[in-house]
Amino acid sequence: MQNPRVLIVDDEKEFASTLAERLNMRNMEAVAVYCAEDALALIHTADHVPDVVLLDLKMPNIDGLQALEAIKQYDSSIEVIMLTGHGDRKIIEGISSLILDYIIKPVDLPELIKKIGAATQKRRAALPGAEGGTA
Amino acid sequence: MSMTKPNLHDARLAFVGLIIAGVSHEFKNHLSVTKELSGLLDDLLAMEKDALPGRERLAKITAGIGERVAAAAEMASHLGRFAHRMDFPLSSFSVNEVVGEILFLARRFARLKNVALEFDPAPGLPPLHSNPSLLQFVVFSAVMPMFDHLEKQGAVRVATAAAGDRVRIAFHCEKIKAGAPADLSPPIPPEALQALHAERPPVEPDKDGIRAVLLLSPIPPESGG
C-alpha cells in the first residue's frame, strides 16, 4: 500500500510540525498547516488529497467544526480524526457521523498510527476502482 | 451559567470555571508540544543506535519526561473537566465521574497528610440531575477534615451506591485516631445540602468504618437549583 497521506491542522505550530516530522519517519507523507484556511486551500489545490486529516477542534478564525464541514463537503471520502485537548465528549458525539475517530492530546503515537492506518485503509477501499470500492 | 435564573454567584462561578478551563487547555497544549519534542528526541536517538555516547542515559531522560507529561496531562484533564462543571448550575451527570474527579484533585491534600484517598464507584448508577459543582464542593468539604482524624497511612474510601431513585455516598475511614467522633466530617453548610436536595443521615459509630453519609436526590428541573 502506498504511504498514508496525512494532513495535520493545528494552530500550535511546534506541535503540528514535530508530529509531522515523526510521522514522516514512520513511512507516512505528513504535512502540517497551522490554520483551517491553509488546510482548505491545500486540499482544493493538491494533486493528491490527503487520506486522513488530523484536525484540531479549537482554532482561531475557522475552527475545527467549520473546517470539518468544509472538508466533507469538498470530498466526503477524506477521513478526519479530530484532535482535542479535553475529550469534549458532547461535541465529539455531535459530529460522530462525520469523523472516523478522535484522539486526546497529548497524543499517544502508537494509538494515532493505528487510527491513521485504519482511516487510510477505509478511504482507499471506498475509492472508485478499489477492490470492493464504489467503482 | 443558567439561562433561567442568572445571578451574580453563578456568573462568578462560571467565570472562575472558564479561566481554569482555559488555562488547563493551554497547559495541555504545552504538554503536547513537550511530548512530541521528547518523542522526536527519542526517534533521533533510536536512529543513532549505539554510535552516540550517553545514548542510554538520554533515552532514560526522555522516558522520564514522557512519564511526567502523562501525569501532568491527566491532572490537566481532570482540572479542565472540574472547571467545566461550573458552566451550568444544573445538569444531568454521572455521579461517579463528578465524585471521581474531585477525589482525584483532592489526593494531593491527602498525600500531604500521609493518608490515602480512594474511590469505590458502584457500576450502573443512573445519571443524576443536580448541581455537579456544588456536589464536588460538598464531597470535598466532607473528606478534607477526615484526614486530620486519621493515623499516618490511614485512608478515606468514598463509595457510591444506588438507593432507590437516590444516590448514596458513604465515606469510610481506616486507621482512625483514638477518641475521634463518630461523624468525622464537619457540619456542611445547610444551604449547600438544601440546594443539592441532599441529606446527611446520622452515622452509627464504627459501622463498617463509615463515618459520614450523603443521600442525594435528583433536583426537579423546574426548581432551577
Q: Which of A25, A58, A105 lies closest to B32 in CB terms?
A: A105
CA distance A65 to A74: 14
Task: List the domain boundaries for chain A.
Answer: 5-126
Say yes or no for a CB contact (<8 Å) between B24 and A21: no
Q: Which of A14, A85, A109 lies closest to B33 in CB terms?
A: A14
Say yes or no for a CB contact (<8 Å) between A107 and B36: yes
Instruction: Tell me whether 0.90 is exceeded by the ipTM.
Output: no
Give the H/E segment covering residue A99: none
* pLDDT of amino acid B154: 95
Average pLDDT on B201-208 reads 74
Model confidence pLDDT, tens digit, residues A79-90:
999 999 876 777
Give the H/E segment covering residue A82: strand A79-84
pLDDT band at B6 (very low <50, low <70, confident <90, very high): low
Nearest CA to CA, how far is B37 from chain A (Å)? 7
Task: For residue B36, list chain A residues with Cβ-Cβ distance below 8 A.
Answer: 14-15, 18-19, 22, 106-107
Identity at B79, one-letter amino acid code: L
Give the H/E segment covering residue A64: helix A64-74
For residue B162, list its beta bridge partners: B167
Place of cell 444551604: B191
| Residue B225 pLDDT greater than 80, yes or no | no
Average pLDDT on B141-148 reads 91
| Residue B93: half-sphere exposure toward Cβ, Cα within 13 Å | 26
CA distance A38 to A45: 11
pLDDT: is B8 or A130 the higher one? B8
DSSP labels for B27-83? Answer: HHHHHHHHHHHHHHHHHHHHHHTTSSTTHHHHHHHHHHHHHHHHHHHHHHHHHHHHH
* pLDDT of amino acid B180: 82
* pLDDT of amino acid B3: 45
* pLDDT of amino acid A120: 96
Closest CA to A88 of B55, B24, B203: B24
Average pLDDT on B188-207 reads 82
* pLDDT of amino acid B56: 85
The Cβ of residue A6 has, within 10 Å, a number of other Cβ atoms equal to: 25
Angle at B188 between CA B81 and CA B179, to 5 degrees: 115
| Residue B222 pLDDT greater than 70, yes or no | no
Place of cell 451506591: B161
* pLDDT of amino acid B223: 58
What order of strands is seen across the sheet that includes strand A79-84?
A29-33, A5-9, A52-56, A79-84, A101-104
Model confidence pLDDT, tens digit, residues B163-195:
888 899 999 999 988 888 777 777 788 888 888
* Residue in chain B nearest A19 by alpha carbon: B36
Closest CA to A64 of A42, A81, A49: A81
Say yes or no for a CB contact (<8 Å) between A12 and B40: no
Model confidence pLDDT, tens digit, residues B62-104:
999 999 999 999 999 999 999 989 888 888 899 999 999 999 9
Spans in chain A with pLDDT lower than 50: 133-135
* pLDDT of amino acid B178: 87
Residues of chain B above pLDDT 70, percent: 93
* Residue in chain B nearest A105 by alpha carbon: B32
Interface test with A, best of B18, B23, B31, B33 (most A CBs within 10 A): B33
Instruction: Say if B62 is an interface residue toward chain A (CB within 8 Å).
Output: no
Q: For residues A107-132, b (16+ Cβ closer than 10 Å) or e, as one string? A: bebeebbebbeebbeebbeeeeeeee
Which residues make Cβ contacts (< 8 Å) with residue A108, sequence separation at least 6? none
Chain-wide mean pLDDT for chain B? 88
* pLDDT of amino acid B105: 96
* pLDDT of amino acid B5: 56
Instruction: Say if B40 is an interface residue toward chain A (CB within 8 Å).
Output: yes
* pLDDT of amino acid B207: 65
DSSP labels for B100-155? Answer: HHHHHHHHHHHHHTT-EEEEEPPTTPPPEEE-HHHHHHHHHHHHGGGGGGEEEEEE
What cell numbers appear for B184 in the block? 468525622
CATH 3.40.50.2300 is the classification of domain A5-126: yes
